[in-house]
């Protein structure tokens, strides 16, 4: 009997946990995996909900103040030229517009190219913000925001080149299309961008940014090349910062900012390219949705087509009053209103009446030629502002300009 009891005891089942069938253990493992997966999904939903609740920051684009070569009408590109006194004043005025017309906008970060005219503009803006009690944001230079490289055209007078270039169609293609690329500059070019001293200056200004290799310095570029250069900065740094709620000021150049606009809007083409240029020192503001698309339009703001961002200041309002067909550019007929507003300068014989011949002479081809610097037969907002600033410089205080300014 004792032997039998020992035999039965030796065959007794193992402890309860060890007796669980294999299928039960698998069920518990599966339930644990489902629970972990559910927690992960909930965490992801919470993160996406938080991201959706974050209001994106505003993107402020600002072309540097007038440079010495802007004033002289020369192709500038990557050449490092200083601001004029007027350009420095434009930078301060831009900061004033941000302080007075952008509501409670607080700039968190300033991005700029490594070229002196943009760096100086950024510095003047930040100093103006600081003087008005705003916290001074950091200035982060990057070579990816440099101006479009104009190749062998760099340094040439724009109007002379437009009038005398042996192949006008090619010149138009280089200037007014995304794909057009001027011939590259050679090593003996007077402003050769890869000379040792120019490379050293670029790297010194870019010291804390993405490393600049020799091959990163172009010898010519199309706007499309410029878009390819700017896009990594937009996708990897600027857009994430904006979606995280930071307000960012980007101080750049006419064509470099055109390239950035092409990244932001993604609906621009050759036809709209001339109207994408920003005037010197006039802030342009984009508002974004949580998914990164552009919020457009905002009530009470002034837009110049095809841009889906609004300008600060009164110049946009005046331009739109002249742009009767809302095309974003002024035709010859629309330019007649400029002369009608400057009545005294048109009334050549002083009889108090303006004959049709006098109106045509004052407001016809000569006015269009003076304002239309790219030769497309229209005057976009950039050209209009450049023309108007020339008039104010050349005839400041005249009755006709005062009447139009009013």
Q: Name the maximum alpha-carbon separation found in the chain.
A: 143
In angstroms, the Cα distances linking 151 to 168, 220, 247 are 17, 4, 34
Q: In this structure, is the dihedral angle defined by the CA atoms of residues 270, 235, 252 and 149, taken in order, positive or negative?
A: negative
Q: Is the omega angle on the peptide bond into residue 297 within 30 degrees of 0, that is, cis?
A: yes
Q: Which of 64, 149, 221, 287 is catalytic?
A: 64
Report the C-alpha gap between 48 and 46 in whole angstroms. Answer: 6
Instruction: Please list, in sequence order, all residues whose beta carbon lies within 8 angstroms of the beta carbon of residue 180, skipping any fewer than 6 positions away.
Output: 170, 173, 174, 222, 223
Instruction: Please list, in sequence order, all residues whose beta carbon lies within 8 angstroms of the beta carbon of residue 294, skipping any fewer than 6 positions away.
Output: 264, 265, 286, 287, 288, 308, 309
Annotated catalytic, 147?
yes
Report the C-alpha gap between 50 and 47 in whole angstroms. Answer: 5
Q: Which of 66, 79, 90, 147 is catalytic?
A: 147
The pairing of strands 302-303 and 310-311 is: antiparallel
Annotated catalytic, 64?
yes
Task: From 374, 169, 127, select the one nearest 274 (Cα to Cα).
Answer: 374
How many CA atoms, within 13 angstroms, populate the side-chain half-sphere of residue 74? 17
In angstroms, the Cα distances linking 28 to 25, 94, 244, 312 are 5, 66, 40, 63
Active site positions, annotated: 64, 147
């Amino acid at each position: 009997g004792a032997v039998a009891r020992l035999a039965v005891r030796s065959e007794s089942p193992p402890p309860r946990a060890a007796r669980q069938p294999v299928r039960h253990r698998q069920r518990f493992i599966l339930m644990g995996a489902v629970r972990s997966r559910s927690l992960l999904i909930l965490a992801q939903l919470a993160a996406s909900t938080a991201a959706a609740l974050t209001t994106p920051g505003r993107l402020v684009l600002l072309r540097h103040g007038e440079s010495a070569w802007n004033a002289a009408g020369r192709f500038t590109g990557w050449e490092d030229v200083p601001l004029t006194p007027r350009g420095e004043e434009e930078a301060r005025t831009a900061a004033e517009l941000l302080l007075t017309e952008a509501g409670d906008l607080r700039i968190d970060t300033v991005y700029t190219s490594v070229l002196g005219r943009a760096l100086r503009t950024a510095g003047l803006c930040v100093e103006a913000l600081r003087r008005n009690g705003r916290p001074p944001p950091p200035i982060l230079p990057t070579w990816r925001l440099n101006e479009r490289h104009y190749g062998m055209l760099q340094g040439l007078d724009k109007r002379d080149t437009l009038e005398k270039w042996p192949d006008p169609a090619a010149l138009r293609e280089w200037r007014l299309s995304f794909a057009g690329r001027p011939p590259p500059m050679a090593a003996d070019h007077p402003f050769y961008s890869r000379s040792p001293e120019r490379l050293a200056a670029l790297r010194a200004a870019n010291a804390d940014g993405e490393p600049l290799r020799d091959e990163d310095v172009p010898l010519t570029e199309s706007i499309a090349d410029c878009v390819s250069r700017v896009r990594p900065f937009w996708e990897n740094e600027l857009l994430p910062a904006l979606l995280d709620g930071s307000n960012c000021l980007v101080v750049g150049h006419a064509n470099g900012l055109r390239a950035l606009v092409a990244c932001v809007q993604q609906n621009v083409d050759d036809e709209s390219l001339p109207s994408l240029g920003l005037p010197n020192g006039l802030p342009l503001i984009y508002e974004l949705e949580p998914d990164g698309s552009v919020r457009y339009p905002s009530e009470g703001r002034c837009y110049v087509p095809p841009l889906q961002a609004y300008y600060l200041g009164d110049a946009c309002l005046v331009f739109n009053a002249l742009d009767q067909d809302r095309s974003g550019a002024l035709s010859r007929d629309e330019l007649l209103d400029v002369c009608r507003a400057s009545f005294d300068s048109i009334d050549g014989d002083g009889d108090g009446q303006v004959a049709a011949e006098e109106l045509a002479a004052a407001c016809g081809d000569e006015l269009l030629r003076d304002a239309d610097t790219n030769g497309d037969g229209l005057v976009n907002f950039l050209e209009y502002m450049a023309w108007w600033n020339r008039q104010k410089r050349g005839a400041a205080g005249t009755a006709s300009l005062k009447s139009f300014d009013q």
